[in-house]
Amino acid sequence: MTECTTNHIEFTRCNGRKIQANFKGGEITSDAGVLLLKQADKMIGLTKRISINDSRCKGNIDHKAGDMLRQRIYGLALGYEDLNDHSSLRKDTVIQTAIGSSKDLASSSTLCRFENSADRQLCWEINKAFVEIFHIDR
């Protein structure tokens, strides 16, 4: 009988980071599915279609609006509907990789301010993106 064993599984690099699954412990995440979400987002262009008017003072910005949008959408898709979940998610290396960042992501309070700044125009952009994606796939 053939015995197939491997110490690790290699994945395609993402944002220059080597991604591998192994059984040694180290940095552990239960949210590796976010990498599939990123690929799906890239294929359909959901977050890219949503244009956000960022009126914040450029010198005081730590997190881009698009990154915060992706962080929030990916978090929701992973089942983290509460903003307080992002207090720990922001430090997760796999989620950082999916967002395209090498540093801590936006905190729950920053995401709260981001959500509260949403206006009718942003809601319109989000709905428009869904309609465009729906029509492309038909």
Note the pLDDT tens digit of each residue in 98-116. 999 989 999 999 999 999 9
Chain segment 3-27, per-residue pLDDT in tens: 666 677 777 777 777 777 777 777 7
Least confident range of 33-37, 55-59, 93-97: 55-59
pLDDT at 2: 65
pLDDT at 137: 58
For 65, the token pair is 């609006």
CB of 105 closer than 8 Å to CB of 63: yes
10 Å CB burial of residue 38 (0-12, 13-18, 19+) is buried
What's the pTM value of the predicted model, to 2 decimals? 0.79
As a whole number, the mean pLDDT across the chain is 85
